[in-house]
Structure 1
Amino acid sequence: MKLFKSKFKIAGLIMLLFLFSTIAVSLKVYAKPVNAVLVDYSAMERIEKNVFIEADAGSDVKTQLLEFVRSSEDKVINIFGSRVASPYVIVALSQSALNKYAENITGQTYYYPWKNYIVIGPKGLNENVISHEFTHAELRERLDHKDKVPAWFDEGLATMIDGRYVNNEDVWKEHTNNGEKPIDYQTLGSHEAFNNYGTREAWINYNLACYEVTRWFKVVGKDGLLQLIDGLNNGKEFDNQYQLIESEMID
């Protein structure tokens, strides 16, 4: 009986150690998203309803940030017709703030059912990156916070709006032999194809995604985009809707 109790206690201790180690690892992995969620209670300064920046950032930087936010909002509205998402924007410029909030020094969005949290680093403090992240947040909000589109469409729409990939058609021509060899976009369906930001491979993938969504949007426009979103929210399959809407618009 004593031996049984000893074994039971040892098993219990092992389970507790496993639980605590799991919690510790989770806190380390998710520390930055959690910090973003708790930004209301941090030392970051709220300079507008949903915009936060380090308190010691210069007034000119804060003014410029708000200008970027305004112009980025306009770009999103121009594509969607309106804006329904209201994500937090957290600007981390110092190394300590980057360590606390950012996965990279450009921009990223943490998605939660109640709100999206955009973290902008020093390399992303511009209209292009902010509008890119706003687009991700807008699409996610309109899709009921569900992952209903392949990564190439998500990134393609964001890059189309942000305006940095101006040579996307040239990249597409190079990799398709001027359209003779089609791109297999199924290989770009996962965000892993875009995660190694800054590498040539990721740069090519962003350009290819930008080309395809830009091409499609020129045909279907805002109405086609909203029709696609509505169809996905009603349980329809992406590939079928994507092609069907384009063919209907052409007809």
Structure 2
Amino acid sequence: MRCFFVEYDSFQEIKPNIFVEEKTTKKQQDSLLKYVESAEKRLKTFWGSKNGQAKIIFCKNLNTYQKYAKTTEGAGFSIGTPLGSWIILNQDGLNVDVIAHEMCHDELMTKLGWWKTKQEIPTWFDEGLALMLDYRFVSSQDSIQRYIDYRTELSYLSPVPIPLNELNTQKDFFGQGELFTKIAYFTSAVEVSRRISLKGKKEIFRIINKTAKDGKFEF
């Protein structure tokens, strides 16, 4: 995997575990560091701490992003393995929301371990949880209003949500076209935000902790 060798590729490490492609401007570097700091604060506010240690790789060129993320789609992409994790960003990913979103994926994997995350956590839960730290679509910090706003956004796209059992895998979630994926994102965000609005973040942590203990996800 190319990510393992980023230190030996055409990248510069501007801070521990933060790599930028050659010819990345000083302004872009400064923006990246600022957004990473803000994303970490957002992560700590939600989770209570930050334990994930994913390396961040900022790709100035789309071709480089494709080499690392194996896709040209999206502003950011997370890769998790038993031996390490990485957050790949392109120029569109140079903002706090994308970075916080990807950091949330890494934090969940760090809490549960790679194997349990891969085997037990459905994609809809992973993506819905990451959207709680991503304010691109819904910015309200009030849990009830956040749920209402996500439900409203979903209603613009589809009269009914996608059944969650049809969004369990990456292929289910991302493999059926751009509109389907967008509906899948909002369906997932509605489910996670609904649970938080009813019982608070502690309910999400209870589910995660129970999965860690019992090895089985139950929502």
TM-score per shorter chain, which class? 0.7 to 0.9
1:170 matched to 2:152: yes
Q: 1:111 aligns with which of 80, 93, 98?
A: 80
- What number of residue pairs does the alignment pair up? 204
Report the Cα offset of residue 118 of structure 1.
Answer: 0.9
Counterpart position of 2:3: 36
CA RMSD of aligned residues (A): 2.2
Q: Which residue is equivalent to 2:142? A: none
Aligned equivalent of 1:187: 166
> What is the match of residue 84 of structure 1?
51
8 A contact 2:153–2:186 mirrored in 1? yes
Q: Aligned equivalents of 1:92 and 1:222: distance in 2?
A: 34
Distance in 2 (alpha carbons) for counterparts of 1:139 and 1:72:
15
Q: How far is 1:201 from its partner?
A: 1.2
Runs of 4+ aligned structure 1 residues displaced above 3 Å come to 171-177
Q: Given the alignment, which residue of 201, 204, 210 partners 1:225?
A: 204
Q: Does 1:142 align with 2:124?
A: no
Q: Which residue among 122, 126, 142 is the counterpart of 1:154?
A: 126
Q: Which amino acid aligns with 1:68?
A: Y
Write out per-residue CA displacement over residues 66-105 of structure 1, whole angstroms, 9 at most, x where no aligned residue: 1110111111111111011110000111144224313225
Q: 3-state SS of the aligned residue for 2:83?
A: coil
Structure 2: which amino acid aligns with 1:98?
Answer: Y
Give the counterpart letter for 1:110 in structure 2.
I
Name the TM-score, length of structure 1 as normaliser: 0.74
Please report how far the alpha carbon of residue 237 of structure 1 lies from its aligned counterpart in structure 2 after TM superposition.
Answer: 3.2
Deviations 1:110-135 (A, max 9, x none): 11113211110122221111111101
- Report the 3-state secondary structure (helix = DSSP H, G, I; strand = E; otherwise coil) of the residue aligned with 1:82: coil
TM-score, normalising length from structure 2?
A: 0.84
Query: How many Å apart are 1:173 and its aligned residue?
Result: 4.0
2:33 maps to 1:66: yes
- Flag the 1:43–1:130 CA change in 2: closer, same or farther, 3 A: same
Moved more, 188-197 or 152-161: 188-197
1:171 CA displacement: 3.7
Tell me the distance in 1 between the aligned counterparts of 2:121 and 2:40: 22
- Return 5+ residue gaps in structure 2 as ranges: 139-148
1:49 maps to 2:49: no
Report the structure number with the largest CA radius of gyration.
Answer: 1
Given that 1:92 and 1:122 are in contact with CA atoms closer than 8 Å, whether structure 2 keeps it comes out as yes
Matched, 1:238 2:206: no
Query: Which structure has more RCO (C-alpha within 8 Å, separation ≥ 6)?
Result: 2
